[in-house]
Amino acid sequence: MNKIDVIILAAGKGTRMNSSLPKVLHKLAGRTLLHHVISAVNCVSDCRIIVITGYKAEAVEKLHAQNNCIFVRQSEQLGTAHAVKMALPHIRDLSDVLILYGDVPLVSTCTIRKMIGAVKEGQIGLLTVEKDNPFGYGRIVSNEQGCIESIVEHNDATSDQLKITEVNTGVMAMNVSQLKKWIPKIKDDNRNNEYYLTDIIEIARLNSCAIRRIQPNSVIEVEGVNNREQLSRLERSYQKRLAYEFMVSGNSLADPSRFDQRGKLKTGIDNYIDVNCIFEGEVQLGNNITIGPNCYITNSIIDDYAEIKANSYVESSKIKSGATVGPFARLRPGTLIGKGSKVGNFVEIKKTTLGNRSKVNHLTYLGNATIGSDANIGAGTITCNYDGSKKHETTIGENVFVGSNTTLVAPITLSNDSFVAAGSTVTNSVSEGQLAVGRAKQRNVTGWKPPAK
């Protein structure tokens, strides 16, 4: 079986994006356009990926260095055939070659497999699509039998050829021996004086090689990005597809048009997501979870029957079954909310474990803390975990009651069944069953006069 080498063309600036970023570094659903393409071809075993870079090559290469790609720089951009030619020294002998584009991000693994299958049968695979408005696309010219004869670029097409609605996507696949033999035959005798990779189709036909037209399951797979308006349309189309997949898997959305998934979302069933929620990174949802409007959840795990109320922010945290978070709560990285616990409005928690059935209902900051089960943390409580140099731990046992407006100066331990009086500043640990009172002595001044107004 032949190896598969994939060439991804990603050298362009993207002038119409009006951006300092290379076009392939613009993001779709939270990932760069180029990353989408690389992810799609990772389904192919023993695959070598060669990325052709050009404009701001260093930035493109640095951002995708972890993807095990070979980067080849095209310092002078003379056309798509010239870009492919730059990759030839890195193509393995006896391989099949698939050519993709870094600004066409949503080609599917299914389509990729069909393209590779055509090559294995001795043909060239050419991905085409029917478009109602084919302006700007190369037209597929076929003979009377319907066999592909050539591709004519829009600027070079005759008036009759411009009426053709089957267009070239640029994606093609062939054997390396064919590619190496035919690339040198491509000329730049066209209006743009560029070396068009599309010319290889006509050369193949002249060499009696069959061209198999392959069409994608959805037009969205071959939509390219040339400007920000196209990027926004592609974003919505892609999100609509993700929303559909979420719903058919047994979950509900208040409004599919106001759902954003920017990464991987693994989910059970019977979950309900209200409007304007964003899921980023890797998020895992259990079953029967309710998430209110305007919530942001990233790289987190939420177990069965949990509820995230409106306007809450959950980052790199775990929420166990039956817990309630929000509204207006913020969970920062390293937070674990126990079963049946409650985190209320305007509470911020970081690197803290909140035990089962414990409550932090409002206006509180907990950082670097471990809290046992059935604890009650009153409004306005703060763990003073940072001394200006180091972070320190606060440990609160089971069945502990902390009154409102309490300051806990870490490192400190509140043992099981201890109490802290409201308004206290606590600097020493509290033993089991003790009541800590850390208030200044109150004085009532008789005869005091307010300042004159």
141 has a pLDDT exceeding 70? yes
In this prediction, residue 75 carries a pLDDT of 87
121 has a pLDDT exceeding 90? no
Q: Is 362 a catalytic residue?
A: yes
**Segment 18-31 mean pLDDT:** 96
Same domain, 245 and 217: no
Same domain, 45 and 179: yes
Residue 306: partners with Cβ closer than 8 Å, 6 or more residues away: 286, 289, 290, 319, 320, 321, 322, 323, 324, 325
Same domain, 275 and 318: yes
In the chain, pLDDT over 90 holds for what percent of residues? 86
Domain coverage including residue 93: 3-222
In this prediction, residue 396 carries a pLDDT of 98
Q: Which two tokens stand for residue 333?
A: 């990285």
Q: Would you say residue 353 lies in a domain?
A: yes
Q: Would you say residue 447 lies in a domain?
A: no
Please say which residue of 183, 200, 222 terminates a domain.
222
Q: Which residue has the tokens 């019977």?
A: 270
Name the DSSP class of 82: H
Cβ atoms 183, 66 nearer than 8 A:
no
**Segment 215-242 mean pLDDT:** 95
Cβ atoms 198, 168 nearer than 8 A:
yes
Catalytic residue among 36, 64, 82, 362: 362
Q: How far apart are CA 281 and CA 262, in angstroms?
A: 6
Rounded to two decimals, what is the model's pTM?
A: 0.90
- pLDDT band (50, 70, 90) for residue 46: confident
CA 372, 373, 376: angle at the middle one, nearest 5? 90
In this prediction, residue 77 carries a pLDDT of 85
In the chain, pLDDT over 70 holds for what percent of residues? 100
Q: Would you say residue 393 lies in a domain?
A: yes
Q: Would you say residue 451 lies in a domain?
A: no
76 has a pLDDT exceeding 90? no
CB atoms within 10 A of CB 189: 9
Same domain, 163 and 35: yes
Please say which residue of 199, 222, 245 terminates a domain.
222
193 has a pLDDT exceeding 70? yes
CATH code at position 165: 3.90.550.10
81 has a pLDDT exceeding 90? yes
Per-residue pLDDT tens over the stretch 147-168? 898 899 898 899 999 999 999 9
**Segment 393-413 mean pLDDT:** 98
1 has a pLDDT exceeding 70? no
Q: Would you say residue 449 lies in a domain?
A: no
In this prediction, residue 442 carries a pLDDT of 86
Same domain, 204 and 238: no
- For residue 125, the one-letter residue type is G
> What is the tally of structural domains in the chain?
2
Per-residue pLDDT tens over the stretch 270-313? 999 999 999 999 999 999 999 999 999 999 999 999 999 999 99
In this prediction, residue 44 carries a pLDDT of 85
Per-residue pLDDT tens over the stretch 329-378? 999 999 999 999 999 999 999 999 999 999 999 999 999 999 999 999 99
Same domain, 118 and 100: yes
CATH code at position 380: 2.160.10.10
